[in-house]
Structure 1
């Protein structure tokens, strides 16, 4: 038990005893919570009386001091003022700490509140217990969907109490109580209903306590005077109200008769009665609203809200509205509620200022604006009606039917934001807000800011991302500059043209806006980048990080507001030269950094892939030769294929057993690691190049270790007298001139074989979209990401990477021949099943965002075409084929796991499903002259066994013993393998005999 628990334990004991005693008496948990609240209030009542008595005494002293205090503040400044005030306080025996006395009543309740929270939250019998409209005391009441009624009722009671408590007191106390009310609304909104009920009743008892401590605030006004006041206001409106009543009644009666004509007259009398009664009620409400306005007109016209507060409230409402609307997993109700809480006061402030400015604007423009505002308010009311009724609202205008449905709170907030934005010009004029354009140099600020923002998006950030892994791209870095130059010029040109058209006041706002965007773009891209993982063409590896708690959005909102406020004061104080120099330095730094890193990659003017292929042009034949008479060995690495998928496909299509004749499928196969760069060396060279063994050589970087594995692999092949045909070796720097027949990523002649055109290079667009994504706040990132669809790209777009990896598989039957006289070793590493997972339908249309299983099924279909070519050309029987994957599917990159393996996860103590599936590799083996239909072998295998099988060295498939223990590693991705010497192992496992029995998994690290 820690110190806090020692302190709170007595309070929990008191809460528990009172609650259980109340339940013993009533047998009702809801009433017990109310009695608990009442008991605590009674228990603290003497202390409250003492606090109020002390407060009143201090208030009397403050009133006596006030004239002298005001005089001192008027006449003196600095230390002199401080010492005079200190002397005055001493003379009246007053201390500033006594100003905190009103807060004592709240502080006194906090320990009981915390104790009630801990007790009620952990009290399981409350689960599923209903009380009145509360369905479950352990959950928020959810009376209106996302809107919980109890916290709102609690806040209203707090506000009423604050109104009466401070009616004759210090206005600063009212602000404190309002702040506390809002704070508790936010804190308690999504807490269990039992706790909110406890605190709500506590506030109710606090209100009734005012009748004892502050009876003077409840004195009744003179009723006769009040009635006369209302009569004087209503008397001039009698004719207008009669006309209003007549028009409303006629419309109501007309609609009911129209409805009866269309349907039936069975209930026409009741409908007409309700229509007339409703018209009277609406007239009374209208009269009440008009009278209330006239009585309080002077007060309303005197209301002044600081512009900073209005714009902060409006910005926060818009920010949280977008954060809710574009939330990664769908509309977020909590963020939407926060948006509405910010919207309502800002909308009210806007409407008040709109009314105040009435006499200062043209009547026509005011009427038009008023009509638009009335329509938006009416729309909001309709949304509220839908929420209460729970059914959509349909209506017709000129035979056009309109239906309002869906997330009505979203529509409510949307209409409110539009209405509030419409009041901004009137608010601006009513408050006479001054603008501060910083002389003639503001143009330079605008141009430099635009150059930084659009340069960062179209040039500099794409170059930096390109430079992080240039081997992934099939175009030089300079192509980014040439491809994006026109969009860059267009965006800057349009922005400057719009700026020229703006009036002076709007130019001032635009200047603040564009300079703030520049600062935010710099901060988001360079200082506080958002961790979303690596970009896999269409999606991020850690896209789930887009889902953050409301607290994160709250902090980001404050952060953005702070940036805008800082920029506002910079412009206001005319710090032009420092701003210009700062922008020049920002532009120069980002340009220099991006050009430096991109030029140093060696890919700035041309790609290394192209350079290598040109250097080794003599051994690029663009063909794969098999021998009909001599042996052929094929080692086919299919990157990221799920081992268990083959089992599902065989169950789905049993006829594949004959097509894959000669093959043995090993479902019980374990990958060496979860990443290619850690698994491929062992596929080439066996367990000598396991992750553990490679980590023993700590003086070499990972890149050189992989290259060593490639060279040893090549050496073995040449020693056995094979003619070597090979694709590129992933992450290896092997000299491809040593390979007899090097297969490039793509050969120009292959396009003619498949009658293909040139692919559109998606990366040009994706890189600037990614830059925009990096610059944007979290509230807008999902909008740009668009659930992997992004802003511009279509589902049928394809880039060079995808064009090559998919069509290479399709072109295999077209580029193979059987004219070789040598023994052949064919090594192919295909990224076909590597994310992103896409497919091509029967009409050869490219379809994006397929499931990993659909993608694998397409791979099997294309692989079968290659098998059929081998059979047709008499090279199948004399060919050994090893089809192996380096690891299984990384399901964290997909929305959900879509494979069912024969595993009882309840027995699991060592590994979670995602890591298990990531280590489940594919392994199919066809030996020479094997012809029987495909069979399954359940012995434990490893992806590292591929080397022993292809070289026929201690082949485990030919061993009589089937009992084995194999190690596997969960490794972390490291991009800079040239400067990293060891693999970062997060988990290490030993697995015995059967990977599907989780009891056989032993975690050793």
Structure 2
């Protein structure tokens, strides 16, 4: 229950505070100013509530003053029960109840949730630790400006208290002693609470007190509203000037900020115009209490369910297993519950609190606002959804979110304006019932989608739970899985998912020690994959040219999943059935078309052992490295980012890149990457030496699949390991390169381990990827020519490295034309005479580079089984290509299959 109340009441305020901090920090690049900015933002947001509170307090003071003489007379004349009865009658006669005295404490009650939110946010803010501002040496610790003996004197809390007392003295001038005592008592309470608190938090509360002091001074001067407006105007002009002429951010983002700030200058006119409309055009709603509340509540509930559940559920429902078993949470529905509660707090609980504080005019305005915003948000989310690429489970896109074209932005803007005006038009023509019906339908639809998606996600999770229980068991210790042979031959295929072909050269130049480890290797630079995703790009890697997307589609009467399993088992079956080998395979890509590879596909082959190694040693690694991982970082990021994703969908298209904030979602924490998912894969490499022994007899074949290189996780240089705070990502200026460096370093350690145990020369190794990363930097540096639809061919540039038995010397580069479908023939060469596909009977032959072509390269990104048919991949005719000779020249990419 406590967690529910925190999520619905406090956490939405934390999100508002964090956004304010990040916004001011993005503008001024100064954490101290950002803390002051948070105080200003919160004070401005609370100002209308303070005005209401002041009105109630004044009513209470006037009432007490009016009743004082009568109460005094009764207390002097009567005692005991008689006094109580006469006082009760006196209160009733004057329409007063003693509980009404609580109104005088409303101003203090307003501060409590905001103080709790600010305390939770600022007292644990990583960016404030070690940061100095003015005389404050460390905003993440108490200021301790000087000491008296062993006692540290914190100046900031003392200054905060003095300011609070001065503000209270001005405010309570002419008040009763008990009112003054309350104010001064609370000042001392906050001194005790905050004396040893981090300076950033105390600075925030000090600035709140300064604002309170200014507010109290305003109450004592003539025309406070005019003075306040001039101060606001000066602040807006300063922000506009700074954003336009001193800030170096993107122009359209600065213009959005300038527009948002400048529109505040129109507040007095907007208030007058709105008052006129409420008294004339919308007077029927203003005078009809039940109707306006119905419109307000239905709209806010519909908004909350669409933002909290419907839109986030579309993300999670696309791949529920990715959001399962994260940190301490099993069912992915937890994240939807959390986001829904957050939105109920932000869009229902707090608005209702505000709604009942104000008069019928403000209530009508809120009803109009929420109904208009609901229609506009739905138009944005579903009519202008946009295509922003693949989402990670941290709710970040795999490519940049860029600004949209002007015509599209104009169309979006016109549509949004029309949606905003729709409720107003209906009310103008007295069609309240139509509006109420439409809002009710939208609310019912949101609840219906909530139920349907909940059932769907829970069903997939239940199936996944049964599946994973039989596949993945977290290990507390490590037993060897890969039993290499010293007296026979070892053949090892390491499939490093999304390892980038472009990164080999810069990594080996920057880390020359790798050249010694990877002695004997040949790097095939001119290599192409048949797709940019694992589902279509990996089968040919495992099974050769019979398993390219085109060849798979030619067998249109056989299920895709069966052909996938064939490809995965081709090499281990050939080695065990057509040569004298035993085989061990781990984490085979999309085995049985299961996200967690279903290694039971090996069960019917006695000489093939199949295991899942990824995801098994994460807890063990965290236990052995407790100082390198921030607790619950993945789940906390998902809980936060899901609601930001909804906001992203709700705003007009031209504002979305600003909301996305390059994947930071306006977070104040720079370390929000999905390190736990990365560790699921990284640990399988980090523990490779411990997973390997040399007890194998005869000849051994291994397929080792690993996803470390698939991650965009930043790592701490120079070791390229996870860290709670990443301070150095290394000298190579490519994005997503850390995982590639980590892979090379860990595989190098494993190779050194083989060498130390005299088991390297008798081992043939291929390190290969299913596809490349697809970054513009690689495209611009390596690829030439015109690419249709601005396609990035780097998606199809996988890493391919090969070391034969007895090979030595520094790694060399070979520029012969290759595809990753050459892997089977390279591994089988000289070991199996005329190897045949055990499923089709066709011979696997090595194709000379001069005769080779990549027929049926696919640029469609159908990366999930559900995006394709049951028997064939769903590929438009225009997305088939044949590539020859040189992958880096667009002239060698010809449309069609040839």
TM-score by length of 1: 0.55
- Give the structure 2 partner of residue 736 of structure 1: 599
CA-to-partner distance for each residue in 1:381-401, whole Å, 9 max, x for gaps? 8899999xx9989xxxxxxxx
CA-to-partner distance for each residue in 1:678-697, whole Å, 9 max, x for gaps? 11111111001112211213
- Give the structure 1 partner of residue 710 of structure 2: 834
Tell me the SS of whatever aligns to 1:888.
coil
Q: Does 1:870 align with 2:754?
A: yes
- Give the structure 2 partner of residue 710 of structure 1: 568
Distance change (3 Å), C-alpha of 1:759 and 1:683: farther
- Give the structure 2 partner of residue 974 of structure 1: 862
CA-to-partner distance for each residue in 1:552-606, whole Å, 9 max, x for gaps? 3333332222222221233455655544444443333333334434534565554
- Give the structure 2 partner of residue 625 of structure 1: 482
The unaligned stretches of length 5 or more in structure 1 are 1-361, 394-404
Q: Does 1:941 align with 2:802?
A: no
Q: C-alpha distance in 1, partners of 2:539/2:252?
A: 54
- Give the structure 1 partner of residue 662 of structure 2: 787
555, 579, 585: which one aligns with 1:725 = 585
Q: C-alpha distance in 1, partners of 2:230/2:668?
A: 40
Q: Does 1:885 align with 2:769?
A: yes
CA contact (8 A) 2:381 2:649 kept: yes
Q: How large is the RMSD of aligned CA atoms in angstroms?
A: 4.2
Alignment map for 1:659-738 (pairs within 5 Å): 659-700=517-558, 702-713=560-571, 715-719=573-577, 720=579, 721-730=581-590, 732-733=592-593, 735-738=598-601
Tell me the SS of whatever aligns to 1:517.
helix
Higher RCO (C-alpha under 8 Å, 6+ residues apart): 2
Tell me the SS of whatever aligns to 1:513.
helix
CA shift for structure 1 position 512? 0.9
Alignment map for 1:573-612 (pairs within 5 Å): 575-600=431-456, 603-606=459-462, 608=464, 610-612=465-467
Distance change (3 Å), C-alpha of 1:996 and 1:505: closer
Alignment map for 1:737-816 (pairs within 5 Å): 737-739=600-602, 740-748=609-617, 750-751=620-621, 754-756=624-626, 759-760=632-633, 761=635, 762-792=637-667, 794-799=669-674, 800-816=676-692
- Give the structure 1 partner of residue 701 of structure 2: 825
Q: Does 1:420 align with 2:266?
A: yes
The unaligned stretches of length 5 or more in structure 2 are 1-217, 326-330, 603-608, 836-842
CA contact (8 A) 1:701 1:982 kept: no
732, 736, 747: which one aligns with 1:852 = 736
Q: Does 563-572 or 947-956 show the bigger shift?
A: 947-956
CA-to-partner distance for each residue in 1:445-465, whole Å, 9 max, x for gaps? 333322222222222322222
- Give the structure 2 partner of residue 43 of structure 1: none
Distance change (3 Å), C-alpha of 1:427 and 1:674: closer
455, 466, 470: which one aligns with 2:305 = 455
Distance change (3 Å), C-alpha of 1:512 and 1:859: same
CA shift for structure 1 position 995? 3.7
Q: C-alpha distance in 1, partners of 2:220/2:848?
A: 95
Alignment map for 1:885-904 (pairs within 5 Å): 885-891=769-775, 896-897=777-778, 900-901=781-782
CA shift for structure 1 position 744? 4.3
CA-to-partner distance for each residue in 1:887-908, whole Å, 9 max, x for gaps? 222125xxx447733x6x3xx3
Q: C-alpha distance in 2, partners of 1:392/1:796?
A: 28
Q: Does 1:511 align with 2:371?
A: no
CA contact (8 A) 2:380 2:416 kept: no
Q: C-alpha distance in 1, partners of 2:436/2:789?
A: 54
Q: C-alpha distance in 2, partners of 1:531/1:960?
A: 40
Alignment map for 1:124-203 (pairs within 5 Å): none
Distance change (3 Å), C-alpha of 1:744 and 1:506: farther
CA shift for structure 1 position 506? 1.3
CA contact (8 A) 1:673 1:971 kept: yes
Q: C-alpha distance in 1, partners of 2:646/2:879?
A: 34
CA shift for structure 1 position 957? 14
407, 411, 419: which one aligns with 1:555 = 411
Q: C-alpha distance in 2, partners of 1:483/1:407?
A: 30
CA shift for structure 1 position 737? 2.4
CA shift for structure 1 position 498? 1.6
CA-to-partner distance for each residue in 1:226-252, whole Å, 9 max, x for gaps? xxxxxxxxxxxxxxxxxxxxxxxxxxx
Distance change (3 Å), C-alpha of 1:826 and 1:391: closer
Q: C-alpha distance in 2, partners of 1:386/1:711?
A: 63
Q: C-alpha distance in 2, partners of 1:594/1:770?
A: 17
CA-to-partner distance for each residue in 1:345-398, whole Å, 9 max, x for gaps? xxxxxxxxxxxxxxxxx99998433344455667788899999xx9989xxxxx
Distance change (3 Å), C-alpha of 1:527 and 1:494: same
Q: C-alpha distance in 2, partners of 1:429/1:520?
A: 23
Q: C-alpha distance in 1, partners of 2:497/2:667?
A: 29
CA contact (8 A) 1:376 1:416 kept: no
Q: Does 1:925 align with 2:797?
A: no
Q: C-alpha distance in 2, partners of 1:522/1:392?
A: 37
Q: C-alpha distance in 1, partners of 2:462/2:392?
A: 23
CA shift for structure 1 position 440? 1.5
Q: C-alpha distance in 1, partners of 2:875/2:323?
A: 26
Distance change (3 Å), C-alpha of 1:714 and 1:501: farther
Tell me the SS of whatever aligns to 1:833.
helix
Distance change (3 Å), C-alpha of 1:590 and 1:737: same
Tell me the SS of whatever aligns to 1:723.
strand
Alignment map for 1:51-62 (pairs within 5 Å): none
Q: C-alpha distance in 1, partners of 2:682/2:734?
A: 14
- Give the structure 2 partner of residue 964 of structure 1: 851
CA shift for structure 1 position 726? 0.8
Alignment map for 1:472-511 (pairs within 5 Å): 472-475=322-325, 476-484=331-339, 486-491=341-346, 492-511=348-367
CA contact (8 A) 2:355 2:366 kept: yes
Distance change (3 Å), C-alpha of 1:702 and 1:891: farther
CA shift for structure 1 position 548? 1.7
Greater Rg by CA: 1
Q: C-alpha distance in 2, partners of 1:485/1:431?
A: 34
- Give the structure 2 partner of residue 652 of structure 1: 510
Distance change (3 Å), C-alpha of 1:975 and 1:374: same
Q: C-alpha distance in 2, partners of 1:477/1:369?
A: 50
Q: C-alpha distance in 2, partners of 1:738/1:913?
A: 40
Q: Does 1:641 align with 2:499?
A: yes
Distance change (3 Å), C-alpha of 1:898 and 1:987: closer
984, 1000, 1004: which one aligns with 2:875 = 984
Q: C-alpha distance in 1, partners of 2:790/2:367?
A: 52
Q: C-alpha distance in 1, partners of 2:560/2:844?
A: 30
Q: C-alpha distance in 2, partners of 1:432/1:959?
A: 81
Q: C-alpha distance in 1, partners of 2:666/2:240?
A: 33
Q: C-alpha distance in 2, partners of 1:540/1:870?
A: 39
Distance change (3 Å), C-alpha of 1:419 and 1:999: closer
CA contact (8 A) 1:640 1:890 kept: no
TM-score by length of 2: 0.61
CA-to-partner distance for each residue in 1:881-937, whole Å, 9 max, x for gaps? 110111222125xxx447733x6x3xx367799643232221111223333332233
Tell me the SS of whatever aligns to 1:852.
coil
- Give the structure 2 partner of residue 290 of structure 1: none
365, 369, 372: which one aligns with 2:225 = 369
